[in-house]
């Protein structure tokens, strides 16, 4: 799957009819609160993993859609993971993971953008090793600060199981994803957006720091395309089977709504 994303990245400059890309277009293409229909293809390729010589891979298909409820703007995002991970015997297995959905209410305070709402995780995994076997509820919060030079912000989630297989471990998990985007000329940018993971039940955690680059295009039809590569290094961790070094490859599409 990562080869498909990289190939698409290389072909974009040839295959798209391009329009002028503004600073707002660049910020919006990296902002998880942008109220546009979106499809994201994200792949995390962990080539060095604590506790094993194996490599791991997690591909995410994400879809976002803005909508209104009671006159209030909202943004819903669904994430479908496909993972290659070790099972209980140490062998590798691949399969669909647990599907998650959050729906945040969109608010503004001056130049700050805020989204807060519920998070749901459904036990849809096709293999025991690729999911938790639990229905989980929680919350998601996003705070973003756009600037002419780029974007600062964070996406924070928390989830806890409420039902499911009682023989499976309790889920009590938080994540934090700081965003730093610095815009360059000709619609290029540099980025850092590692997802910090904390398992409050077991005490395991890992904190990756990334440094990568990307490019934004805009088609004549108004679709914004954003392709990037971001190597990430784990600077602190507890536990095994978590990435030491991984590469985050992404391809985002945002579509104008009538």
* 170-194 per-position pLDDT tens digit: 999 999 999 999 999 999 999 999 9
What value does the mean pLDDT take over residues 5-28? 67
Residue bearing the bigger pLDDT, 97 or 19: 97
Q: Is 208 or 220 the better-scoring residue by pLDDT?
A: 208
Q: How many domains does the chain have?
A: 1
Structure confidence at residue 70 (pLDDT): 85
Tell me, what's the pLDDT at 256? Answer: 87
Between CA 83 and CA 85, with CA 84 as vertex, the angle to 5 degrees is 105
Would you place residue 11 in the very low, low, confident or very high pLDDT band (cuts 50, 70, 90)? very low
Taking all residues of the chain, what is their mean pLDDT, rounded to a whole number? 92
Q: What is the pLDDT of residue 4?
A: 47
Chain centroid to CA 189: how far? 18
34 or 69, which is more confident: 34
Phi, psi at residue 4, to the nearest 5°?
-65, -45
Specify the pLDDT at position 18: 61
Q: Which residues span the domain enclosing 243?
A: 2-255
In this predicted structure, what is the pLDDT of residue 87? 79
What's the pLDDT at 172? 98
What share of the chain in percent tops pLDDT 70? Answer: 93
Confidence band for 15, pLDDT divided at 50, 70 and 90: very low
CATH number of the domain residue 11 falls in: 2.40.160.40
Q: What is the pLDDT of residues 116-167, one digit of tens each?
A: 999 999 999 999 999 999 999 999 999 999 999 999 999 999 999 999 999 9
pTM summary value: 0.90
Instruction: Flag whether pLDDT at 3 surpasses 80.
Output: no
Say what percent of the chain tops pLDDT 90: 83
How many CB atoms lie under 10 A from the CB of residue 29? Answer: 28
Distance (Å, whole) CA 100 – CA 120 = 6
Q: In the structure, what pLDDT confidence band is assigned to residue 10 with cuts at 50, 70 and 90?
A: very low
């Amino acid at each position: 799957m990562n080869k498909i994303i990289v190939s698409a990245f290389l072909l974009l400059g040839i295959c798209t009819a391009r329009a002028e890309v503004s600073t707002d277009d660049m910020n919006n293409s990296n902002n998880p609160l942008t109220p546009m229909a979106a499809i994201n293809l994200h792949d995390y390729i962990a080539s060095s993993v604590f506790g094993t010589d194996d490599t791991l891979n997690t591909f995410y298909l994400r879809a976002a859609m803005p909508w209104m409820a009671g006159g209030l703007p909202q943004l819903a995002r669904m994430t479908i993971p496909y993972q290659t991970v070790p099972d209980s015997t140490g062998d590798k297995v691949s399969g669909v993971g647990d599907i998650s959905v959050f729906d945040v209410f969109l608010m503004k305070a001056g130049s700050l953008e805020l989204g807060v709402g519920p998070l749901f995780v459904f036990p849809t995994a096709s293999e025991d090793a690729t999911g938790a076997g639990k229905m989980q509820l929680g919350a998601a919060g996003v705070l973003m600060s756009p600037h002419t030079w780029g974007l600062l912000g964070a996406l924070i989630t928390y989830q806890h199981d409420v039902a499911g297989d009682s023989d499976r471990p309790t889920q009590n998990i938080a994540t934090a994803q700081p965003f730093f985007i610095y815009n360059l000329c000709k619609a290029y940018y540099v980025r850092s957006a590692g997802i910090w993971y904390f398992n409050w039940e077991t005490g395991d955690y890992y904190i990756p720091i990334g440094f990568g680059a990307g490019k934004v295009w805009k088609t004549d039809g108004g679709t914004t395309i954003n392709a990037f590569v971001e190597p990430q290094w784990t600077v602190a961790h507890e536990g095994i089977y978590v990435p030491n070094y991984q590469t985050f490859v992404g391809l985002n599409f945002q579509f104008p709504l009538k």
